[in-house]
Amino acid sequence: MSRAAVAPTALRTRWAQYHALTKPRVVQLIVFCAFIGMLLAQPGAPHWPTVVVATVGIWLVASAAAAFNCLVEQHIDARMARTAWRPTAKGELTRVQALSFSAALGVAGTALLVLWVNPLTAWLTLATFVGYAVIYTIVLKPLTPQNIVIGGASGAMPPVLGWAAMRGETAPEAWLLFLIIFLWTPPHFWSLALYRSDDYRKSGLPMLPITHGRAYTQLQVLLYTLVLFGATLMPFALGMSGWLYLLAALGLGGWFVLLAFQLWRDYSDALARRTFRYSIWYLAWLFAALLADHYLQAWLA
């Protein structure tokens, strides 16, 4: 085989390794929630150039945080079947390469937000990076089984970032979206931790199923899901949304509560996996319903 044929393959492989560092599926959900925040911040048609630049900037900084997380946790990832494939865990990328890649993404994203969006969005996005990559990853995650709860604050910031990008300020509506994601995070991650408990035991991380047992974690999943269900009704109660969103929140939330109840009463790994996967679609469809309701209300006005 010629050198010309080998080179593109090598480049694609290296590109795939860097791409994997950004945890694309996780970042997609983050960017989606930020995008929803941008559109909800505007009563009518948004300013699309700002939306595009803000979306790219937030995506770059979120990807930088994910890459930094892979770098910090490479030895933990190597012990877990779920994450052992990551390029840093396998040694395919060096620490210098991962750190340089994370820094380049972070600087580029922050520059876009400062120069073409607004300083508030840049500062909030940078604070979110520090909250996730440093406070959560380095401090909280190895220290306390409540790491998911406390660290969930950084993961709940995307709609606030999106709102700030369009308005240059935050608002109670944006913080209500923050609250919904904040309450969604524990049942989402603890469902994963339940059926991946062997992995987390090998990692040495103090995840709730390891420190407090499966039964206690199942109860916490149910309780947080019930509180989440109540919180998702607040946009309708406060006049932020209409009946379309309310019906979606009742249907999607009711099914989530049912899964959490079944998980509490009759645990199985398959049910925990099903609950985890549903939680991802739940948040996406809930926010999509909120956006659809937003434009329906604007059209009816």
* pLDDT, mean over the chain: 93
180 lies in the same domain as 141:
no
Among 129, 149, 170, give the residue marking a domain's end: 170
180 lies in the same domain as 151:
no
> If DSSP states are collapsed to H, E and C, what string results for the chain?
CCHHHHHHHHHHHHHHHHHHHCCHHHHHHHHHHHHHHHHHCCCCCCCHHHHHHHHHHHHHHHHHHHHHHHHHCHHHHHCCCCCCCCHHHHCCCCHHHHHHHHHHHHHHHHHHHHHHCCHHHHHHHHHHHHHHHHHHHHHHCCCCCCHHHHHHHHHCCHHHHHHHHHHCCCCHHHHHHHHHHHHHHHHHHHHHHHHCHHHHHHHCCCCHHHHCCHHHHHHHHHHHHHHHHHHHCHHHHCCCCCHHHHHHHHHHHHHHHHHHHHHHHCCCHHHHHHHHHHHHHHHHHHHHHHHHHHHHHHHHC
Alpha-carbon distance of 10 to 13, in angstroms, equals: 5
The pLDDT score that the predictor gives to residue 187 is 98
159 lies in the same domain as 190:
no
The total of structural domains in the chain comes to 2
**pLDDT tens for each residue of the chain, 301 residues long:** 334 444 454 546 889 999 999 999 999 999 999 999 999 999 888 899 999 999 999 999 999 999 999 999 999 999 988 888 899 999 999 999 999 999 999 999 999 999 999 999 999 999 999 999 999 989 888 889 988 898 889 999 999 999 999 999 999 999 999 999 999 999 999 999 999 999 889 888 899 999 999 999 999 999 999 999 999 999 999 999 999 999 999 999 999 999 999 999 999 999 999 999 999 999 999 999 999 999 998 888 7
87 lies in the same domain as 212:
no
10 lies in the same domain as 158:
yes
262 lies in the same domain as 215:
yes
98 lies in the same domain as 189:
no
Among residues 232, 285, 234, the alpha carbon closest in space to that of 257 is found at: 232
27 lies in the same domain as 161:
yes
148 lies in the same domain as 182:
no
pLDDT more than 90, % of the chain: 81
Among 129, 145, 170, give the residue marking a domain's end: 170
Enclosing domain of residue 269: 171-301
pLDDT tens string 179-199: 999 999 999 999 999 999 998
CATH number of the domain at 102, please: 1.10.357.140
Among 128, 145, 170, give the residue marking a domain's end: 170
The pLDDT score that the predictor gives to residue 2 is 37
122 lies in the same domain as 152:
yes
The pLDDT score that the predictor gives to residue 65 is 96
59 lies in the same domain as 106:
yes
186 lies in the same domain as 226:
yes
Two tokens, residue 142: 């190895």
Report if pTM > 0.95.
no
